[in-house]
Structure 1
Amino acid sequence: MHETSARLLALLSLLQARRDWPGGLLADRLEVSPRTVRRDVDRLRDLGYPIRATKGPDGGYRLDAGTDLPPLLFDDDQAVALAVGLQVAATSGAGVEEAAARALGTVRQVMPARLRHRIDGLRVTAIGGPTSVDPGVLAALGDAVRAREVLRFGYGPDDADPRRAEPHHLVTRGGRCYLVAWDLERADWRTFRADRITPRTPTGPRFAPREVPGRDVAAFVAGRFRGNPGAGDWPCRGEAIVARPAAELAPYVRDETVEEIDAGRCRLVAGAWSWVALAARFGQLDADLDAVAPAELRDAFAALADRCARAATPM
């Protein structure tokens, strides 16, 4: 019986790995006869897995989507990826936080001990509180993106700003969900906060999708928030050790990276459009700085200090 159960799990894993499997190839991979494969397929069907026999010279099997959710089989890496993804979803502001947290608890409960320890050591935390989006709104936006239909929607607290746009991608950033779309009235790319969108029905006509500038949605959105959608990264980037705990600094960072050093210090890596602007960004933290790098950033601190000293001198 143990051998049969192990073979059923192996068969299920193979069926999940690719769309179609010739019966003979399955038999070879499992080192059993085609008759045994047919019996095992019947056992999986009895457990609720919708496995369809495919026609052809060799015949074969396909695992289809069903009306119910049967037990799923994941390897170790897939299980870890699923758990991390659920942690991110639980802090995404996408309106599925509670369901994601419950799903994570369910997945963790059925994991073997070695994977539970691995998951417990992998904590993904969002910086800043998420903004919740109505799941119905999120579903409507996703449907419009998938169907490539012009979206008609109100935008803002009172829906007084009617818009029409070609929706292309849904993205999350900083605890908020955004719609990347081509604004038809303004003839330009825009990012709309999903929690401010009120979809109107019916949707508009279908459209041929455009290419997002740079053909990289993540780079485009990052550049848009930096004030230049064509740029991939800040032209000036530096770091310093800040005399503040990482947990105290984390709520105030944007694109920066915070790394804890000890209870009272952290390393902050940040970027800006100029070295002086970057120095001013560090100065906003109201904390002592050490190990400033690179040299261009240290020179910018000196120039900024001189400018501030002149501004403080009475006329």
Structure 2
Amino acid sequence: MTTDTPARLLQLLSLLQTPREWPGGELAERLGVSRRTVRRDIDRLRELGYPVQATKGADGGYRLVAGKAMPPLVLDDEEAVAIAVGLRAGAGHAVEGVDEASVRALAKLEQVLPARLRHRVATLQAATTHLTSGDGASIAPETLTVMASTIAGHERLRFGYRSGDGTRSRRLTEPYRLVSTGRRWYLVAYDLERDDWRTFRVDRVAEPSATGARFAPRELPTGSAAEYLRRSVYRRQETYEFEATFAAPAELVAARLPHWFEPPEPLGEGECRLRGAASDSVEWLAVRLAMVGCEFTVHRPEQLITRTRELGELLGRAAQAPQP
């Protein structure tokens, strides 16, 4: 039970910022207080300027809605617009390090933005062109926020989907997690019509919509959405084993590699070995290993060794080209 009123109000506000309606009884259970205390805390939040809407019924429900102005002592207009634009830009391109937590933050922020600020965000987004966008497909931020909202609220999600061979279908799912690989976003969900777990590339999703139907979360077979995605992708694609050694400490190499690589194995002072399986092209893997910025040697497979050598020769010739 949370007896500290300010701490309890912050916990209540955090729950309400999840895009869903919370029954009064469920809030009371989460906070370990009575429903009467929940009602008093809701009134306190309203006095602070948070637009909490209540619905009538046997249990009653509460949700945070967009108000006429931003709640006080949170963000001013300029800060809110800057954060929303930044999150939309990062989420739309699956930038490495911008993961599901950032998408949830974007969903919460856009839920309470007044209409005038939403218009400013949309205008800035439309007028902005990114010099670089990573090597993954672009995604509408609205697609991610809709998915994040249904995941948080345990709400069924319907969308159109285009498979790798171009086949189009409609899917009804129980969304579980969004997973970013740094280049792409994936949705891990239970497909109700196929009665099985599936992974969906978000850039192939069209017109996602929340159905309003709630569901009890199922247990994912692997326990981890990232692990399930890894197994699913490797199962569908041809993979190859690779091995390389770096003339640098394992901690340094690990910090410069994307999180989906296996941790490097220390070999001694100032050396480490990286092993793993990849389904990307050997060209991409060669470039990614070189981006670590340390001396390294590729040991296998032969195709990766050959391509790394060719890329090195190509870059060497480019560096020796005469200046115009």
Note whether the superposition's TM-score is higher than 0.5. no
Give TM-score scaled by structure 1 length.
0.41
Greater RCO (CA < 8 Å, at least 6 residues apart): 2
Give TM-score scaled by structure 2 length.
0.41
Structure with bigger gyration radius: 1
